[in-house]
A and B are shown apart, each in its own frame.
Chain A
Amino acid sequence: MPNKQLAMVIDSSRCIDCKACMAACITANAVPVGCNRNWVKDAEPDLAKGAFRGHFQPGGCMHCDNPTCVAACPTGATFKSPEDGAVVIDRGLCIGCGNCIPACPYGARFRNPAIRKADKCDYCAARREQGLSPACVDTCPTKARVFGDLSDPDSEAARLLAENKGRLVRLVAAATDTKPNMYYLGVTEPRNWPVEPAPPTAMAAMTGLVDPLVKTAVALSGLGVLAMLGRQLFTKPTPPHDGHGHAPGDQTPGSGDADRPDNRS
C-alpha cells in the first residue's frame, strides 16, 4: 500500500456542466485535439416522459487500487505510484502498444497523438510539484471536485469522505471492481456506464498463451540441459582433443551400449 492515497471526492450534484475542468485540463496538460483527460457526463432526463431533472457527473481517471490498466501494461510504464497512490505513466517507458487503453473500464486513457503514447490524468503531477492543485479542481466554479490525500485525515477529501460515510458511490463495471479512488457523494448519475476491461487480444495472447508457452519451452529446454549435464557429470570424460564425437551416452557406464568410436554423429 502506498504511503499516501491521492483521491478525488466529487459532489456531482454541484456540477453545472460548464466544462471548465476540461478546458483547464487541456491547457494544463497540452491535451491534443480530439482527446480529453477528464469529462463531464450528462444524465439526460427523458423529456418525452415528462422528466426534466438532469444530472451532470464530472470524472476522469479514477486512479484505482486495482488498476486493470496496470495489469495490461507489459513494461510497467503504467504503475501505481508507491509515493502517493496515483496511477501514473512513465512516458519514457511507454512503448505505445495501446494495451492499456481498452483495459480501462472508464475510457480514461487515450493514445496521445502528439507523443503517440498512452496518456491520461496524472492529477496534474507537474502542478502538484509546484504546490498547485490539479487544474480541474483549482478551476471548478462550484467546487464539485475535491482533491486530496485520503491518508491525511485533515485533507478536505478525507474529511468529506468521513462525513459522508454511507452515501459514497464508486462507479465500477458490473463484473470488475477496480476499487477506484474517485468517490461520488450521494446520488450520482449516470452510473452504469463503466465497461468491462477488455485488454486487446495481443495482450491476452501474451499473458494467456505466449507466456506459458515460452516459460514451458524454456523450462523443458532447461530440464533437457540439466539432464544432459547430469549425464555428462556422472560419466567419464572424453579426452578433450581426441576429435572423436562420442555422444556422452555412449560412455555411460552400464549403459550396455557398445563403444563405437567410429560412430559418426
Chain B
Amino acid sequence: MRRIKRHDRSDILIHWFNAACWLALLVTGVGLVANPQLNPAGDAYPGAVRSLFGGGPALLAVHIGLGIVWMAGIVLYVAVNFRGAVFFLKEIFSVSPARDVMWMVKKMALMTVGAKPLVKAGLTPDLPDQGYYNMGQKAFAQASVLGGVVIVATGVVMSLSDMVIPASMVWMVGWSVTLHYLAVGLVFAGLLVHVYMAAISRDERPGFVSMFTGHVPEDYARHHHKLWLDGLTGDSGGHK
C-alpha cells in the first residue's frame, strides 16, 4: 500500500518536544498551585512534588526553566520550519462551518453515544470529508496555540514579576496567575481527548504511528483526510 508522507522530521520533533514540555510543565506547574481552594491535584500533591524537587522555590525555578526551554524550542522550530509553521496555523484556523462543525458534532456523538441519537435527530451518521486536519484536531490545535500564547504571555509576566514589573502593574501579575491557570486547564481538558484519540483509540492508530514515522497509509489518508489527499499531487507526498 502506498504510504503518504504526512509529517517531516521537524514536525515530529516539535510535536514530541511540545508533548514532553507539556507533561513536565504540567507536573511542576500543578505542584506550584498550593491553595486549599484550588489544589487541582489534591491537597497532598503540591507538597509531594515540592519535596521531590527540593522545595517550592526549586520547583518554581525548574518550572520557569522548563518554560523557557519550551518557548525556545518552539521559536527554534518556527525558525527552522517557518513554512511548516505557517501551513500548520493556516490549516488549523481555516474552519468551514458546514463541513467542519457538522463533522465535529457527528464525531463527538459517534465516539460516545453512538449513531442512534444522530439518526433520531434526523442526521446521517456520515462524516463530512476533512482536510489535512479534521475538525477535532483543529479544535485542539487552536486551543493549544491560543492557550499556549496565553500561557507563555502570562508565564513571562509572572516570571518577570520580581524583575521588572512596577508596582502599578501588579494587577497584571494577579491576572496572569488566573489566566495561566485558565488556559492550562482548558488546554488540558482538550489534551485528555487528544491523548485518548491519538494514543489509545484504535481508529487513529495510523495517525499516532505517523507521529513517529512521518507517513500514513494511503487508505487511512483517504478515509480520514480525503480533501488533503485529493489536494496532493504527484508521489512526493507531503503537505508542502
Taking beta carbons and an 8 Å cutoff, which residues of A are in contact with B?
71, 73-77, 90-99, 111, 113, 115-117, 200, 202-203, 205-207, 210-211, 213-215, 217-218, 220-222, 224-225, 227-229, 231-232, 237-238, 240-250, 252, 255-257, 260, 262-265
Taking beta carbons and an 8 Å cutoff, which residues of B are in contact with A?
1, 32-38, 40, 46, 55-58, 60, 107-108, 110-116, 125-127, 129-130, 134, 158, 161-163, 165, 167, 170-171, 173-178, 181-182, 184-186, 188-190, 192-193, 195-197, 200-206, 216-220, 222-224, 226
With A and B bound together, what is the CA distance between A160 and B126 in angstroms?
Answer: 81
CB pair B37 A207 closer than 8 Å: yes
**In the assembled complex, which residues on chain A have CB atoms less than 8 Å from the CB atom of B111?**
224, 227-228, 231, 247-249
CB pair B190 A221 closer than 8 Å: yes
**In the assembled complex, which residues on chain A have CB atoms less than 8 Å from the CB atom of B193?**
221, 224-225
Nearest opposing residue in chain B for A214, CB measure: B185
Choice from B40, B60, B189 contacting A220 with Cβ under 8 Å: B189
CB pair A117 B162 closer than 8 Å: yes
CB pair B196 A229 closer than 8 Å: yes
CB pair B35 A74 closer than 8 Å: yes
Known: A221-B189, A224-B193, A249-B111. 13 other contacts (CB 8 A): A90-B57, A95-B161, A95-B162, A117-B162, A213-B182, A218-B40, A228-B197, A243-B206, A243-B219, A243-B223, A245-B223, A257-B115, A262-B223
With A and B bound together, what is the CA distance between A243 and B207 in angstroms?
Answer: 9
With A and B bound together, what is the CA distance between A204 and B83 in angstroms?
Answer: 42
Given contacts A97-B176, A206-B177, A263-B223, contact A238 B171 (CB under 8 A): no
**In the assembled complex, which residues on chain A have CB atoms less than 8 Å from the CB atom of B185?**
210, 213-215, 217-218
**In the assembled complex, which residues on chain B have CB atoms less than 8 Å from the CB atom of A248?**
110-111, 201-203
CB pair A263 B127 closer than 8 Å: yes
With A and B bound together, what is the CA distance between A220 and B36 in angstroms?
Answer: 22
CB pair A231 B125 closer than 8 Å: no
CB pair A111 B167 closer than 8 Å: yes
Nearest opposing residue in chain B for A223, CB measure: B112
CB pair B114 A244 closer than 8 Å: no
Given contacts A97-B170, A97-B174, A210-B178, contact A263 B126 (CB under 8 A): yes
Given contacts A243-B206, A248-B202, contact A214 B177 (CB under 8 A): no
Choice from B1, B162, B181 contacting A243 with Cβ under 8 Å: B1
With A and B bound together, what is the CA distance between A115 and B164 in angstroms?
Answer: 10
Nearest opposing residue in chain B for A247, CB measure: B110
With A and B bound together, what is the CA distance between A91 and B161 in angstroms?
Answer: 12
